[in-house]
Structure 1
């Protein structure tokens, strides 16, 4: 055993040699790891260099012209013709670096690039610190860009944070430093930087905010201007918060820390009043980014919104992008756009003095019915982008224009109703679940059994509510809301997502608030065989480096083609006798439309002494196979006695004249009509049915009997927009309307009854510049009378002779030059 042990362990010399070999082996492994790591690093360095070289080779062309002067955006129309050139902001005041005082330069360098004169194109020391900060504090917590990098980024590149863009930025920054001195680069920066309100360049900003030359600025003013460009719209002193003030004091602190000012100067600057010399400017007086051609302003505003939302430009500042020389190819018809805005602005076009006042406004949208292309848009009278909201993008209660989407459309879609489906009308009707609320038609009449064609074109309320309830009962409670959402009129976000559509929404109240643009999109679905297109202004953009960014759109079949066609066929009758737009003639056009108005709450009427038949908003939305147009008209102030209201039929129909004159001007009159799909059958009585439906079988089994319009409704009933009123059906003492109920002027009815049972409603959103709070909508187009039924608040509409065709104005426009009756 002992011998075996000695043989197994070996001699001492053997053990020593074996240990040395193990040590050499470990050293060899470490050496190999180091060599391998170095080789891998070299490989990555070579690959990185090659990738950098490739990205640098694809960088935009280095242009001295772009470095020196901004390049305005160019707007092209649907025919690729140059329409206008957009010069961003006010005229720029250029400054030479020699004329910039030291304390202004110190403020800029302290906050932007303190070692600017010491490093090259890239500050590797600062970059390393930024990398560490981003690792520990999160990506984006600190930037490492030098002033040189910021110049090339603003001139040649976008805001995207990709490796490619960073490589191009580094390359172009290196080139810039090779060809220009530090002073020249700093001068470029100071003349190109953006200062909000359309202001570019620090000299222009100094004059704009403080009415001072640069050498007149005190320290806190210099600090403010130095810090403003980081987030110009947020730090703008004309925005009501203290962010700009706080930013200025951050810059002062950095100047002190970098010893660019003394502690005594720092303390003195902290006590200076930043607002003491701030120029007092109202919204109207703030600098405008308007194009030289103001008739395109609303369209350009929409262009900017669309480009900002495109994935290819999501990290770009739109103001800088519009000053980078991009070319924007649009769907605009320049002639239509000019005509639309000119007629909107022409106050002499409107016959009634109240429509010539500043409190009256009008907004509209025109789409290509088939493609959804934005042909033209008006953001309001004398629209200015910086000062005004684009009224075509402001939500408002839409009145009876919702009836096709919440009542009759879902009924045709889900229940396959024929266009001669009849509904029992009533003089008073209480919606399901609202026993103490009654609804009436605008004329306070019971029309018997009415076909839905007549009910829709004359805009009766009771049949619309009953159709809505029938769909909910037979197809599902959510079906009307889902149908509406499919066409772009979505309620899912209303009341923070906690809202259920109810009967009052059918009449355009409650949360039926949508924009003129959305209404045009929805109605174009009906004219496009049930296909939805989101409105699109931009076809493609050519960037300053020659890249083309496409703006693709998709069409979605959102409702059945038979639903779209049958609704369209019924809505054509809107212009027939007793239709809600029968005052205007659209001869020669195959056109369908729906009107709508909204009224005031009882409380507002009583507070301001507003007539009961007054309305605050009036709509018409219509379409041909070529164009879809929505028109909103309304008032931005509430005054005594209805001075800023639509009172009487001739005033309620104001948007109809506007609609007629524009549509008749732009249409080609090519005889094009809406194409009847295979899914629709035209009956012997001229009505329509869904092919293969039970309703069609019923009709055929009755051997082509009449359409069942056993209603005696050919009674000359007026849907000029008459008033519809809600009231208590019992004799209770309280006749108060629900606090926020809406009624449709020409078609709806104000609601009264038990407030706990009537649906509560939110106020219509009004533009920012309005002086009065938004009112609730309802309806009313004509003078109302006290009904003889014993109720306190019941009102009925009196029909007056329809106004005559407006006289032709001297400039050739068929304006609403009709004589006003005494009531108006």
Structure 2
């Protein structure tokens, strides 16, 4: 019985009403959970408090000077000399809170912080609503910064969205409200906010956009100015009037919602044309952030772009960064920069009126060959920031300046060609896989030419054949990879898989376009022994708080040193007789260079009735061990008959005179030459070969065999005068036709850079002498022996050509001057 009773009790206990002991157990569990939650909350509160205190202790110094006015950025040159100061746009017109119309403050408060006068430094009600919205709509969907927080963020902090910055923002906002009244803080906000186009402060913006004092603004204009600071460059009426109008309507809605205007006022304002009183400004008249010293504007433009790529300043508004007291130390040579921009602006530099017109422009970049440091840069004539493209950063077809990187460079790098490697030239040639034929600049067949002569004279067909040989023997991607190693990247999202063609070798094609800055980087690689350096304007930046921010740039080995040196040695021939720039004397400088032009497509030629030898771009890129300079010249419009084109050899060489005058002016003439590496040896006189290469071994074997043959020749063969007498007449008879034709060959070897009519965007040398200039060479026909020496580049060839070459140089020098 007792046993059953106990079982019954257990059964009833399980199925019946819970006893008081169970109730106590559940209550105890809830209490424990609550206690743990409170404990965890306290832990978080304590940890958060310590973390907040730690972050707050690292806050920037609370400076009254910073609260008053922005601190402009200072720009220093390579010698740490102050060059210019960036004041960040127009002079500021400050407003006093006591004189600010009520409808202006109402509009600002409605859109930025409607409860500004009711809460403390932080609006916890708005903060809670923002947290809920961020949870439901996604992080960042709504902000909760008060006007006080915005002031301290703009004055003391950055746009970086980290817990540390938010803690510092809250702490500094609290400090600000302890020391200044609400009115004073609102006044700070109105005077410090950014309004696009280099405009700071709402009164300055009112005068700039509408030429009105604040009290004269209508309600729609007031709403526009109140809403502009959220995204100033997007809502700018000069940029997008429709988007700016929509932003003003959003502010009007908020003013109505917060009962700061009546419905009648709202309806009237919503139907007001905001652009009706907008000050008419052309692109040239718009305010900008350019420095007071316009000769430095192009360089400052690059400085600003580099500044925004640095992690320290990436998330900051550029205008705010430049108003935060930065000291920016650059690689600029201020003297060279000033000289370059002054010459670019000088319309009287060129004798031809065509190059004084508004349609003609030029851009240039000068680098330190060894380091890649940006010495100077010009973005075009009378360059002004914001309203003009920096032409030195605009991609264009580069003509024959691509030949070293897509043809001869890869051939030396991978096939180890000697500089006297022979290539069979032709009068016309059909590239593999294409229907059209290409031609040399003079439409002639030069027979078997060396790689050195083909590059020096800028022959098209040997370059294309070299390009095809490299792809056939080393893979079709080899030329493209070689070009990419020096910063000339052909891959794009749209055309990533398109293979390079002969047109790219000649600098034509839609995706064979590069900037003067990129071309300078590529050629500096050759002068630097094969090491590529990304151009760099900024060395380091010192913030207003004394922090030094270093700027790094890419540097890597792009090619073998023998490739760089052998290309350089061949490119020195550009200024020698029969070179594509042999008009331009570069006396006293060890300099290598390449010229380039690009022609028009057949459709444009027909539409504007352009001559066959008309070109739209003319380039020269060259370097010494000290400096590398790229120069693009071109026209921005097409006109009938070639009035805005380079026509004829005299016009095609336009950039070469400018290049010469700048390079000779800035160089030190210290006798420095490019150092030949141990990997390169001389062969066949002045030619070069890669040490240990198969072609060098072949050459050495041929030399040994020739010497052995000479030693083994019987003495009786040498002493037979009858043989000598009979051989001479035969040899003279055979060479008589060649002697008659030789003057014509010399004439055709002169660069004319006439473009093949069937190729679009290709370049041929433009530096051809005129008929008058080639006559001396035609009249003084060389002998048979001189002809043979000229073809093999023996020293006698220079004697044969030296006299005719000097005359056109003197004529052109006088003409350019």
Once residues 664 and 31 of structure 2 are traced to their aligned partners in structure 1, the CA distance between those partners, rounded to angstroms, is 87
Which aligned pairs between 1:111-190 and structure 2 lie closer than 5 A? 111-190=111-190
Secondary structure of 1:349's match? coil
Once residues 351 and 642 of structure 1 are traced to their aligned partners in structure 2, the CA distance between those partners, rounded to angstroms, is 17
Identify the residue that residue 462 of structure 2 maps to in structure 1: 463
Aligned alpha-carbon RMSD (Å): 2.6
- Ranges in structure 1 where 5+ consecutive residues have no aligned partner: 727-736, 748-778, 785-798, 808-815
Once residues 809 and 572 of structure 2 are traced to their aligned partners in structure 1, the CA distance between those partners, rounded to angstroms, is 22
Once residues 425 and 654 of structure 1 are traced to their aligned partners in structure 2, the CA distance between those partners, rounded to angstroms, is 28
- Ranges in structure 2 where 5+ consecutive residues have no aligned partner: 707-737, 773-803
Identify the residue that residue 754 of structure 2 maps to in structure 1: 723
Once residues 590 and 628 of structure 1 are traced to their aligned partners in structure 2, the CA distance between those partners, rounded to angstroms, is 12
The reply to whether residue 818 of structure 1 matches residue 815 of structure 2 is yes
Which aligned pairs between 1:774-793 and structure 2 lie closer than 5 A? none
Once residues 499 and 407 of structure 1 are traced to their aligned partners in structure 2, the CA distance between those partners, rounded to angstroms, is 18
Counterpart contact for 1:333–1:376, Cα < 8 Å: yes
Change in Cα spacing, 1:87 to 1:539, as seen in structure 2 (3 Å) is same
Which aligned pairs between 1:470-509 and structure 2 lie closer than 5 A? 470-493=469-492, 495-509=494-508
Secondary structure of 1:175's match? helix
Counterpart contact for 1:491–1:499, Cα < 8 Å: no
The reply to whether residue 303 of structure 1 matches residue 303 of structure 2 is yes
Compute the displacement of 1:684 (Å). Answer: 4.6
Cα-to-partner distance string for 1:470-514 (whole Å, 9 max, x where unaligned): 111111112111211121111111744342211011111112111
Q: Normalising by the residue count of structure 2, what TM-score does the alignment of the two structures yield?
A: 0.88
Identify the residue that residue 794 of structure 1 maps to in structure 2: none
Counterpart contact for 1:530–1:557, Cα < 8 Å: yes
Identify the residue that residue 700 of structure 1 maps to in structure 2: 700
The reply to whether residue 449 of structure 1 matches residue 448 of structure 2 is yes
Identify the residue that residue 673 of structure 1 maps to in structure 2: 673
Compute the displacement of 1:84 (Å). Answer: 0.9
Counterpart contact for 1:541–1:549, Cα < 8 Å: yes
Identify the residue that residue 28 of structure 2 maps to in structure 1: 28
Once residues 341 and 135 of structure 1 are traced to their aligned partners in structure 2, the CA distance between those partners, rounded to angstroms, is 54
How many pairs were matched up?
750
Identify the residue that residue 277 of structure 1 maps to in structure 2: 277
Counterpart contact for 2:350–2:356, Cα < 8 Å: yes
Q: 2:761 aligns with which of 742, 764, 771?
A: 742
Counterpart contact for 1:578–1:717, Cα < 8 Å: no
Identify the residue that residue 633 of structure 1 maps to in structure 2: 633
Once residues 670 and 28 of structure 2 are traced to their aligned partners in structure 1, the CA distance between those partners, rounded to angstroms, is 89
Identify the residue that residue 524 of structure 1 maps to in structure 2: 524
Once residues 705 and 217 of structure 2 are traced to their aligned partners in structure 1, the CA distance between those partners, rounded to angstroms, is 88
Counterpart contact for 1:369–1:528, Cα < 8 Å: yes
Compute the displacement of 1:269 (Å). Answer: 0.7
Identify the residue that residue 614 of structure 1 maps to in structure 2: 614
**Bigger shift: 692-701 or 103-112?**
692-701
Once residues 99 and 704 of structure 1 are traced to their aligned partners in structure 2, the CA distance between those partners, rounded to angstroms, is 98
**Bigger shift: 692-701 or 445-454?**
692-701
Secondary structure of 2:549's match? strand
Cα-to-partner distance string for 1:331-358 (whole Å, 9 max, x where unaligned): 1111111111111112222222222222
Counterpart contact for 1:332–1:537, Cα < 8 Å: yes
Identify the residue that residue 90 of structure 2 maps to in structure 1: 90
Secondary structure of 2:140's match? coil
Once residues 525 and 388 of structure 1 are traced to their aligned partners in structure 2, the CA distance between those partners, rounded to angstroms, is 30
Counterpart contact for 1:70–1:325, Cα < 8 Å: yes
Q: Normalising by the residue count of structure 1, what TM-score does the alignment of the two structures yield?
A: 0.87
Once residues 80 and 655 of structure 1 are traced to their aligned partners in structure 2, the CA distance between those partners, rounded to angstroms, is 32
Secondary structure of 1:347's match? coil
Secondary structure of 1:703's match? helix
Secondary structure of 1:311's match? coil
**Bigger shift: 487-496 or 83-92?**
487-496
Cα-to-partner distance string for 1:240-294 (whole Å, 9 max, x where unaligned): 4511011011111111111000001011111111111111111011112221111
Counterpart contact for 1:209–1:279, Cα < 8 Å: yes
Cα-to-partner distance string for 1:152-172 (whole Å, 9 max, x where unaligned): 111111111011111111111
The reply to whether residue 364 of structure 1 matches residue 364 of structure 2 is yes
Counterpart contact for 1:647–1:782, Cα < 8 Å: no
Once residues 487 and 303 of structure 1 are traced to their aligned partners in structure 2, the CA distance between those partners, rounded to angstroms, is 22
Which aligned pairs between 1:93-112 and structure 2 lie closer than 5 A? 93-112=93-112
Secondary structure of 1:604's match? helix
Once residues 585 and 419 of structure 2 are traced to their aligned partners in structure 1, the CA distance between those partners, rounded to angstroms, is 23
Secondary structure of 1:536's match? coil
Counterpart contact for 1:365–1:377, Cα < 8 Å: yes
Counterpart contact for 1:597–1:780, Cα < 8 Å: no
Cα-to-partner distance string for 1:512-539 (whole Å, 9 max, x where unaligned): 1110011111111111222221111111
Once residues 369 and 9 of structure 1 are traced to their aligned partners in structure 2, the CA distance between those partners, rounded to angstroms, is 101
Counterpart contact for 2:540–2:548, Cα < 8 Å: yes
Compute the displacement of 1:31 (Å). Answer: 2.3
Change in Cα spacing, 1:20 to 1:693, as seen in structure 2 (3 Å) is farther
Once residues 646 and 692 of structure 1 are traced to their aligned partners in structure 2, the CA distance between those partners, rounded to angstroms, is 46
Change in Cα spacing, 1:230 to 1:819, as seen in structure 2 (3 Å) is closer
Compute the displacement of 1:14 (Å). Answer: 10
Identify the residue that residue 422 of structure 1 maps to in structure 2: 422
The reply to whether residue 226 of structure 1 matches residue 226 of structure 2 is yes
Once residues 632 and 402 of structure 2 are traced to their aligned partners in structure 1, the CA distance between those partners, rounded to angstroms, is 14
Counterpart contact for 2:750–2:769, Cα < 8 Å: no
Once residues 151 and 746 of structure 1 are traced to their aligned partners in structure 2, the CA distance between those partners, rounded to angstroms, is 60
Compute the displacement of 1:4 (Å). Answer: 4.5
Once residues 283 and 495 of structure 2 are traced to their aligned partners in structure 1, the CA distance between those partners, rounded to angstroms, is 30
Counterpart contact for 1:648–1:783, Cα < 8 Å: no
- Bigger radius of gyration, 1 or 2? 2
Identify the residue that residue 287 of structure 1 maps to in structure 2: 287
Compute the displacement of 1:385 (Å). Answer: 0.2
Once residues 686 and 241 of structure 1 are traced to their aligned partners in structure 2, the CA distance between those partners, rounded to angstroms, is 66
Change in Cα spacing, 1:340 to 1:805, as seen in structure 2 (3 Å) is farther
Secondary structure of 1:617's match? strand
Counterpart contact for 1:616–1:634, Cα < 8 Å: yes
Counterpart contact for 2:769–2:808, Cα < 8 Å: no
**Bigger shift: 678-687 or 151-160?**
678-687
Which aligned pairs between 1:502-651 and structure 2 lie closer than 5 A? 502-510=501-509, 511-651=511-651
